[in-house]
Amino acid sequence: MAGLSRRGEAVATVALAAIAFIIVTGETLPIGLIAEVSDSLGVTESRVGLTVSAYALIAALSAIPLTRWSSRFDRRHVLLASAAVFGVGHLLAAAAPDVLVLALGRGLAALGHGVYFAVAAPAAMRLARPEVRGRAGARVMVGGSVALVIGTPLATLLGQATNWRVAMLAVGVVAVGLGVLVARLMPVLPGTSVRGGGASVLSTVRLPGVLAIQGVVLFAVTGQFTLYTFIAPYVEQRFAVTGTGLSVLLLAYGAAAVVGSTLAGRVADVKPIAGVRVAAATYALALAGLWVAGLFETGPAGLPMVVIWGGAFSVLNVCVALAVLRRAPGPRAETANAFTGIVFQVGIVTGSALGAVANDAGLLATVPLFTAAAGVLVLAITLLRGHAFAPAEVAPIEELRPAGVGVDLPRA
């Protein structure tokens, strides 16, 4: 099996990141176009919103079973199939005559979501040279991060300028096209097997350090989305930032998130333990600073904290995700990645719910303090269990054998 050149390796991982971008864009697309979809189908916005919730639930529940079932197949084919299933689901949703068909299309798309994110980052790391594996995995994660701050707004603008069906159609076509491109760019990546054991969820979770990492994911994401979900009303109440000012702030937050995600790959390759600790401390301090600035309604002090917070969370997010892949190589990497995705979704749902409760109770001003407290818990875990973020003393990725094949995986 021929390996990829350095240029080919970079192009392949960027293409994997592009699919991550379009998948996250499609997942959140109905949020920005909820009024247009509800008017078109003649249903309430709440019923359209349920298709978003159902998507997340199906993606979470299907991720591990489908990832384990597909572990025997060439990863190119799995990535192509997951992108195609996601794309076809959106093509069906674009043609939906009623909300039931819309929900079916979205549900089909969700089946490709969890598998893709479980397989893509480990595949990118298998393609990469050992010294840049963190950066390769980070590229895929950057794709998902960028979608939240660029992809979703662009899809919303497209749907508003044309029709929500056009936006759904575009997402579907692009996803299928990128899936075909990735399958053509990548070399053969057979399903892997770990010597001496399977890749069950229980055996994966029991690997040293994995539970500590999942604890970081849960606390960090819960704290993050408790505030991020309601960042618009918070900065309006505390700093009188609305309209164009809010757009600029969110753009700056997004830019910091992209920079943080990109740098995190290098940090995770060179100083993984120190990197995650510094990110956790910065995350907690930025939120504490935001809370203090909010108490005094001091925008010049508080708004930069929002931007620092965005960068710190992105570094933390990528470092933690790459730590999971280091602790669990081969098929366990994919199982662990799928499990991490589920924990991440639980954090989003929990955080959003807590934020909603605080907002309804008139306690929105205290939410940054809660998020800062979550950051302190994350920092405590990284200080007490720092070894969980170091490279694991297990067989490195390049030493794993493809299932039924007696040769090494392709190397650049």
Summarize pLDDT for 35-80 with one digit per residue, the tens: 788 889 988 876 787 777 788 788 888 888 888 788 788 888 999 9
CB–CB of 72/403 below 8 Å? yes
Q: 5: how many CB neighbours lie within 10 A of its CB?
A: 10
Q: How many CA atoms lie within 13 A of 410 on its CB side?
A: 21
pLDDT value at residue 253: 84
pLDDT value at residue 398: 39
Rounded Cα distance between 385 and 197, Å, is 25
- Does residue 199 register a pLDDT over 60? no
Q: Please compute the mean of the pLDDT values over residues 394-399 and round it to a whole number.
A: 39
pLDDT in tens, 13-23: 888 889 999 99
Rounded Cα distance between 141 and 4, Å, is 21
Query: From the centroid of its chain, how far is CA 372?
Result: 21
* Structure-token match 């390796």, residue found: 9
Rounded Cα distance between 183 and 76, Å, is 5
| Fold observed for domain 6-191 | Growth Hormone; Chain: A; (1.20.1250)
**Confidence tier at 131 by pLDDT (50, 70, 90):** low
Q: Please compute the mean of the pLDDT values over residues 254-263 and round it to a whole number.
A: 82
pLDDT value at residue 135: 67
Rounded Cα distance between 112 and 365, Å, is 38
Rounded Cα distance between 174 and 166, Å, is 12
Percent of the chain with pLDDT over 70: 85
Q: Please compute the mean of the pLDDT values over residues 29-36 and round it to a whole number.
A: 78
Q: Please compute the mean of the pLDDT values over residues 112-118 and round it to a whole number.
A: 88
Query: From the centroid of its chain, how far is CA 122?
Result: 14
Rounded Cα distance between 23 and 404, Å, is 32
| Greater pLDDT, 178 or 197 | 178
- Answer yes or no: CATH 1.20.1250.20 is held by domain 201-389: yes
- Does residue 192 register a pLDDT over 70? no
| Greater pLDDT, 193 or 306 | 306
Which one, of 196, 192, 27, lies nearest residue 125 by Cα? 192
Question: What single letter denotes the amino acid at residue 166?
Answer: V
- Does residue 389 register a pLDDT over 80? yes
Q: Please compute the mean of the pLDDT values over residues 285-312 and round it to a whole number.
A: 94
**Confidence tier at 412 by pLDDT (50, 70, 90):** very low
**Confidence tier at 277 by pLDDT (50, 70, 90):** very high
Percent of the chain with pLDDT over 90: 33
- Does residue 193 register a pLDDT over 70? no
Ranking 119-128, 236-245, 356-365 by mean pLDDT, the lowest is: 119-128
Rounded Cα distance between 183 and 167, Å, is 25
Rounded Cα distance between 12 and 129, Å, is 13
Q: Please compute the mean of the pLDDT values over residues 331-345 and round it to a whole number.
A: 76
- Does residue 216 register a pLDDT over 90? yes
pTM over 0.75: no
Non-local (6+) Cβ contacts of 273 within 8 A are 382, 386, 387, 389, 390
Q: How many CA atoms lie within 13 A of 154 on its CB side?
A: 14
Ranking 32-46, 276-290, 386-400 by mean pLDDT, the lowest is: 386-400
- The segment with the largest mean pLDDT, out of 19-28, 104-113, 147-156, 332-341, is 104-113
Which one, of 148, 69, 73, 156, lies nearest residue 114 by Cα? 69
* Domain segments of the chain as ranges: 6-191, 201-389
**Confidence tier at 200 by pLDDT (50, 70, 90):** low
Rounded Cα distance between 405 and 93, Å, is 40
Q: Please compute the mean of the pLDDT values over residues 272-277 and round it to a whole number.
A: 91
Ranking 93-97, 166-170, 385-389 by mean pLDDT, the lowest is: 385-389
pLDDT value at residue 196: 38
Element (H, E) at 242: none
CB–CB of 351/221 below 8 Å? yes
